[in-house]
A = this chain, B = another copy of it.
Amino acid sequence: MQVESLINARWVIPVEPGHEILDFHSIAIDQGRIHAILPTSEAREQFIAQRTVDLPRHALIPGLINAHTHAAMSLFRGLADDLPLMDWLQQHIWPAEARWAHEEFIADGTRLAVAEMLRSGTTCFNDMYFFPDVTAKVAAQAGIRSVIGLILIDFPSAWAEDTDTYLSKAVEVHDQFRNEPLVNTAFAPHAPYSVSDEPLQRMLVMANELDIPIHMHVHESGEEIRQGIEKHGCRPIERLQTLNLLGPSLAAVHMTLLNDEEMVRVADSGASVVHCPESNLKLASGFCQVQRLLDAGVNVALGTDGAASNNDLDMLGEMHTAALLGKGVANDPSALPAEQVLQMATLNGALALGLAEETGSLVVGKAADITAIDLGQPQTQPVYHPVSQIVYAAGREQVSDVWVAGQRLVSNSRVNCMDVQGITLNAARWGQRIGSE
C-alpha cells in the first residue's frame, strides 16, 4: 500500500495504552494521520512511502503539548528578572504591555515563540494573550497546532475596552478560525483576582454554547488567595465552584498552595490542572503538589508559562524540572516517574484542552503530531530506558524532526516552515527598541 510518509525509528513511545516502548518500529502517515504503527521489518514490506525517514538512534514521542503560554511575551524575555513579584508585574510587565502589546508586537513575538517551540519539539500550544486573532494567524501560517485563548479581563487593553467588547471579540475570533483545522479556541478569563463574577458568568454560558474549554490562572500565589478571601469572603476554588466554573472544561493553571479539601474538590470536579514548575519557582509562587493531585485522579498537564517568567518555552526542560521538583516536593524519589511526566507533557495536555481525540499520543487515527529525539549523543548515552533519557538527560537540541498533522515542520534540527533568521533579527530589533526606553 502507498502512504505519504514512513518513519523508521529505533524506539516508538506511544504513551498510550500503557507505557510500552516499541523497539525498531515505524509509523506510517497518510493524509496527515497515523495510519499504522508496526515493526520496521513489516513496514518495509507493507508500505511504499512517498517519503521515508530513517531515524536509527531516535525515539518518536507524541508531539509535546505546551498547555500554558503567553507566546508573544517572548519579546520580553529577560526584561525584568530577579525582582519581587508585585514589582515585576506592576513596575515592569504591565507597563511594558501597555506600551508595546499591539498587533505588530504580538505577531513578531508569537513568531519568535513558535520558532522556539517547534525547534524544541512542541506541536501544540495553549495560549493566553491580547490580540488572539493575531496569534492564531501566525500559528496557522507556521503550521503548528494551537489553542487560542479568547481573553477576558476586567481591565481595558489595546485589544478591548470593556467586558462587552472582550466577549463580542471572543466570539468573533472563534468564528473567524472555525474552519482552520489546526486552530482551536478556549475562553481565557485571566485569573480569579482580575475577572469579576458577572463577566465570568456570561463567559461560562458562551463557553458552554461554543463547547470550548476554559483556560485560567488559578491559585498562582498566596497573595491571590488572600485577596480572594478579602474580596469574596472565600478562597478562589470555592468561588469558582459557586460560579459553576470548576468542572471538566476548566484547565486551571498553576494551582499552588491547595489545601487537602481543595484537592478533593478539584478531583471531584473533573477539572484539569496545568502545572508550570519553572514559572512557579522563578516567581516564588509556591509549590504545586503534583503527585498528590495525580494520586487523587486529577489530570495534570504541563506548561512553560510565558518567556518573561521562565525564560524559555522548552518542554523537554520543563519535563526535567517537573520530574525533579515533583520528587522534592513529595519528599519521595519515586514520585513523578519519567513515564508519568512524559504523559503530562503529551496526552494529559490533549485531555486538558479537549483534543485527546486528535493528538497527545501515537495512536492509529490520530493526527500525526510527532517529535523525534536523537538519543545517540554522548549526553544521553548509554540508553537503558529511553523515557528516562528523554525526561532526565535529553536537551531541546536533540529534537531532530517534528511533524504536525503529518507535515514535517522540523527536519534535521532545522525549522523549515519559518524564516528563523529573519525572526531572530527582528526580535533583536524589538529588544533594542524596548530596552532603550
Contacts and interface: CB of A to CB of B under 8 A. Distances in A.
Contact of A381 (B77, B283, B393, B397): B77
A84 interface: yes
Interface string A310-334: 1111100100110111011011111
A119 interface: yes
* Tier of interface size on chain A: 35 or more
A288 to B, nearest CB: 11
A52 to B, nearest CB: 24
B84 A332 contact: yes
A367 interface: no
A75 B283 CA distance: 36
Interface in A375-434: 376-385, 388-389, 392-393, 395-397, 420, 423-424, 427-428, 430-432, 434
A328 B333 CA distance: 19
A210 interface: no
Interface stretch (A22-30, A186-194, A274-282, A358-366): A274-282
Contact of A383 (B78, B115, B328): B78
A334 B75 contact: no
B84 A333 contact: yes
Contact of A397 (B336, B396, B423): B396
A99 to B, nearest CB: 15
A242 to B, nearest CB: 30
A287 interface: yes
A312 B379 contact: yes
Contact of A388 (B311, B320, B384, B397): B311
A85 interface: yes
A435 interface: yes
A13 interface: no
B327 A385 contact: no
Contacts of A376: 424, 428
Contact of A75 (B280, B287, B382, B388): B382
B75 A328 contact: no
A248 interface: no
A88 B272 CA distance: 32
How many of these chains are in the complex? 2
A395 B392 contact: no
A110 to B, nearest CB: 12
Contacts of A119: 378-379
Contacts of A389: 77-78, 311
A432 B314 contact: no
B378 A332 contact: no
A88 to B, nearest CB: 7
Report which residue of A311, A383, A388, A431 has the largest number of chain B beta carbons within 10 angstroms of its beta carbon.
A311
18 contacts: A78-B383, A79-B384, A81-B337, A84-B333, A112-B381, A119-B378, A281-B324, A281-B327, A282-B327, A283-B333, A284-B331, A284-B332, A311-B393, A312-B395, A376-B424, A382-B430, A384-B435, A395-B396
Interface of A: 75, 77-79, 81-85, 88, 112, 115-116, 119-120, 278, 280-284, 286-287, 307, 310-314, 317, 320-321, 323-325, 327-328, 330-338, 376-385, 388-389, 392-393, 395-397, 420, 423-424, 427-428, 430-432, 434-435
